[in-house]
Amino acid sequence: MIKEKILVIGASGQIGVELTLALRKIYGEKNVVASDLREENPLLTGTGPYVALDVMNKEMLHVQVIRQGITQIYLLAAILSATGEKNPSLAWHLNMQSLLNVLDIAKEENLHKVYWPSSIAVFGPTSPRKNCPQKTIIEPITVYGISKYAGEFWCNYYAHKYGIDVRSLRYPGLISYKSAPGGGTTDYAIEIFHEALEENSYNCFLNSDTYLPMMYMPDAIRATIELMEAPAEKITTRTSYNIAAMSFSPAEIGIEIEKHIPGFKISYEPDYRQQIADSWPQSIDDTVARNDWGWNPAFDLSAMTTDMFANIRKS
């Protein structure tokens, strides 16, 4: 078996923490180097190596890749949808340049694999709203969506032109209890659990009937690892794969939460994030991912809600 040494960039974030821990279980603690611009997330402390790294500094990134003998990079650093709308040029700059830096270094150092997530935010108001297919009209209206769509084509370009084994998933909104969300439009679906326990109520920044595609973090981590471990010949999509697990509205998750927290009340005060949410599909068709590498989600809304409460109460 080829020995792999993995660099996770953006490891202190919502996905980074859980992905780093999962990769360390598979590849061994020392073989997964966590890195981030901010300090090491306390959940990672003592679980393996950590380096402070700005992915925008290509020279430093290159030095680390050589010094650590890196063979794979998982690039998670990004500015997310809601934060991106507040600072579009910064979001574009970070989301694009970080990817180009990583792809260039992957080419120069012959890295075995690169992982870079895209998002359902690539879709826009002209995409089909229900069961949005892998290939369809894609006209994003957020800078985040534009950067993800452009990034998908850079991945495709480096894969076909230079033979880089770069793989990608279009994550839906991700729900987790371990580390805090990073400024996305679907963050309400995490906040609601914490406020249900603390306040018995939640004031939602989206309307009651805003259906969005969502996924529980354990499914997202498993999808990522299954995609990355699939034989290269199974990967037919080098832009980014649609993946799906569940779709629900704030009203529906409110009803589910009330089963665990009797008397729970949800109110609605939509803000600028409503417009972003309204531009995205309500549900996603992930047939291609299912057929190519066997994707199959484990958690629906009810199973996720039970697991979220069990884990938040423990912590």
Ligand X SMILES: NC(=O)c1ccc[n+]([C@@H]2O[C@H](COP(=O)([O-])OP(=O)(O)OC[C@H]3O[C@@H](n4cnc5c(N)ncnc54)[C@H](O)[C@@H]3O)[C@@H](O)[C@H]2O)c1
When the beta carbons of 91 and 111 are compared against ligand X, the nearer one is: 91
- Considering only 14, 71, 224, 237, the residue that binds ligand X (CB under 6 A) is 14
Annotated active-site residue 144? The verdict is yes
Stretch that binds ligand X, among 21-29, 52-60, 241-249, 256-264 (CB under 6 A): 52-60
Amino acid at site 227: L
Q: Is 145 in the site for ligand X (CB under 6 A)?
A: no
**Minimum gap (Å) between residue 40 Cβ and ligand X:** 10
When the beta carbons of 13 and 48 are compared against ligand X, the nearer one is: 13
Fill in the per-residue mask, 174 to 203: x = in contact with ligand X (CB under 6 A), - = not in contact.
Answer: x------xx-x-x-----------------
Q: Is 9 in the site for ligand X (CB under 6 A)?
A: yes
The residue among 142, 304, 278 whose CA lies nearest residue 206 is 278
Report the residue number whose CB is nearest to ligand X.
13
Fill in the per-residue mask, 63 to 92: x = in contact with ligand X (CB under 6 A), - = not in contact.
Answer: -------------xxx-x------------
Q: Which among 50, 74, 144, 202 is annotated as catalytic?
A: 144
**Minimum gap (Å) between residue 245 Cβ and ligand X:** 12
Number of residues counted as binding ligand X (CB under 6 A): 28
Q: Is 16 in the site for ligand X (CB under 6 A)?
A: yes
Q: Is 114 in the site for ligand X (CB under 6 A)?
A: no
Query: In whole angstroms, what is the distance from residue 138 CA to residue 201 CA?
Result: 37
- Considering only 12, 127, 224, 282, the residue that binds ligand X (CB under 6 A) is 12
Interacting residues toward ligand X by CB under 6 A: 9-10, 12-16, 36-38, 53-56, 76-78, 80, 94, 117, 119, 171, 173-174, 181-182, 184, 186
Catalytic residues: 144
